[in-house]
Structure 1
Amino acid sequence: MVKFILYLENLLKLERLFNEKKNNIKLQDILELKEISRKTFHFNTIDNDITIDDGIDKITFTLLLDRILNVKYFYGRIPVKWLENDDQEGLQPRVIDYKRLIALRNHLKDHPQLAPSIARLVNGKLKLFDGQHKLAGQILNNVKDVDIKAYISEDDTHQAKKLFDDLMITNLEAHSKHKQIPFYTSTLLDRLSVIYREMLEEFTASKSADKHSEDNFINFLVSDKKHTRADAKQMLKSVIITNAVELSHFKDFTAIASRDSNYPLSIDLLTKALFPNSLYLEPSTAPFKSIADFRDAELENFRELASLLVEYGCLNDWITNPRGKELTNIQLKARRIWHKGAVLTWAPYLKSILGSSLSFITSDDREKLLYRAIMDDNQKDRIRVSLQRLFSHPLWDEPDGEIDSLLVSARKQDELFNRKGLTEMYVLTGTSK
């Protein structure tokens, strides 16, 4: 009985922590919850051994060579007090998912840890960048030392940076192309942006100014950095998307994690629905900062569009955890509008709204969308009219029933929208014909 009460108390503390931090939980939060203070240490390498000493515990490990990365590493059972998360522009920006954490904690109570968590020894610190959920689960089980594989980062700045980049790309691919537990989409985009900025600096420093364009940068990543063209274009796309969210009114409504019921939006939903219908996500051939380079203007245009979507889509009235609550009409409407299935259905209308409002003529216009001169007031007013039609349609105000059972689906609801008359033609013209 005492054990059960203690279990419930610990579970309550953990739930409270996730609620207080709005699910933005990392390894250091779990360490703090369990009152584990990080212990500093010194280390020495002699021949093929490394000895780590914190003044109380002293352990020697055998060094091995990773022939692909050409760096040394070691395996060992490491005290938890020596470890910290490799975040803050590091290799592990991902937040901890509550359900996965609980599942791993329960599993590791009765089963062995089959694979080690992975860290790097850099600047006198052991920074964990893979296996954060696994380690956090062990900590909740009061385990004091865990199996770790640790790469040794060189003191040489160039070598340290190369190891960082190599491990980051490896880690990203492991959690995207070869995923078991995937990175959240926002994390993947954010990490790619870090690499992109570093490589862009190298590109602009090594190539003449007349070659400075997005398209030539993609070619540089392929020819000089040996990335695939698909990966290189993904880096550009990630920067466009990251900047669009950070500088728009969507920022406060968008979850850090792709699946977080405390927020109406996720990077995953924006990437699938809104961005393809508003942003130009291909590399431009225009020289940077030239008269034909509209990236900055595109960000301003998207900021304006996001502001209008927040206003007319009643996003400020969206509330979390509606179960058991009596929602007002506007709160119910907001939740309906921003259900994933609804967004996937009406978001494609945006491309036609922009085309009509900004007077697209050529195929280039229809491809580049908001990648153009900053919208004038007349163009914004045209967008307002269409968005007002879209979000004031009677569909959003129907009584409880069919609409809610369908809109909670994560799939497009074209049949429902067409049957109710909320068509693209209606949004553009005010008539269904």
Structure 2
Amino acid sequence: MMTGEEAQKLESALLIERKDYVNRILSFRDQEPVKIITGIRRCGKSSVMRLVIRRILHDHVKPEQIIYMQFESMSFNGMSLQELYQYVKQRCRTGEKMYIFLDEPQLVEGWEKAVNSFRVDFDCDIYVTGSNAYLLSSEYATLLSGRYVEIKMYPLSFREFISFNHMAVSKRKNFLGRTETMMIDPSGAGIEAGQVLEAYMHYGGMPGVSAVGLSQEKSMMLLDGIYSTVVVRDILERNSRENGGRKADALLLRKIILFLADSIGSSVSLSSISRTLISERLVENKTKHGAPAVQTVSLYVEAIKKAYLFYEIKRFDLRGKEKLKTLGKYYIVDPGLRNYLLGYRLGDTGHMLENIVYFELLRRGFEVAVGKLGDREIDFVAEKQGKRIYVQVTQSMTDPKVWKRELEPLQMLKDNYDKYVLTLYKGIDDNAEGVHIVSLIDFLLEDKVI
């Protein structure tokens, strides 16, 4: 259980609020579902868990009612399933509601059985974090039988990036009478919003990167550590455990990751990845274990997705009204990680903006697909609670050719759902035959824009 001294230490800890996640998690407080917070390593899950504990303590809960276990600490290293159960049992107080927080418990084999027993045996409210999708394996899902809720966490949004770097948003009228967005830094100086967005695209949204002050050298060192940990612990080591100790090919894995990073926003098939790797002689048509190259690539890509490094988005046939199994797209969870892998590319802004919009739609609770309309494509078809929107993303709408290219697929749609083009440079028009032309920065900063 948490001591008064530990509670005071938590209270004084320098934790920057991430209210959207904390509020979402606490909306399920004292309800039966186990709250499971998932996301890539170092995206802030542990900090959000501590923020949740802080909020609960503020609500007249005693420190002795809190059990917090951080399984990457040596304090719990090598703990068995039985030891985990006994540790919690000995600290549960009769007649009082207990709040159990388990940070990365998948390091304990069979941890899910202990969690299920806590739920049955004690009067408790349970919160769990995990850094890969194996946490919600079919076995665990079956064991809890729908008695859990998943809260998906991502690196910092653009709004959070501004907050973490101690900037404020300011609006002003330009000489044409249109509203412009500016950022005010801690010294009071104004910065163009586009420059701050460029910094976000450059450094990304890992909280640790903002914590060191957006230093190029320090950010690359931090991102190297994050990438290495994800690859080694969540992909290579897990792959080895699940394949009887047979080691995965680290070079092949890196080549696949680089291929995906270089192809964000483009249609990709496992066959195209395989052909590229075969041409580079990194994989043969038949591997030494007898598996076809495409099957080998598929296993690696699945492991990459389960580590939350890349997310796959499927295509949706808007005429046939069905999801297509081929030629999906992949987006990387953080722009900074892509720049760590490939270097910063000034000429690739369009794809990076797509990447940022995709994850912002996920943060807002949308289910997202790529729209296929004959031989045309719509960047995103996003649905939430029966609402659908269509979204195109482009750097600028000032070129007539771009204007036509982005608008035509949306204007071909004959339904009444809202249609948007998100752009950095929108020109004068806010509406084109029913299509809303919206500032991409306004979209990132304000929920009500879409």
In which range does the TM-score fall when normalised by the shorter chain?
Answer: under 0.3
Structure 2 length as normaliser, TM-score? 0.27
Q: Larger Rg: 1 or 2?
A: 1
Point out the structure with the larger strand share: 2
| TM-score normalised per structure 1 | 0.28
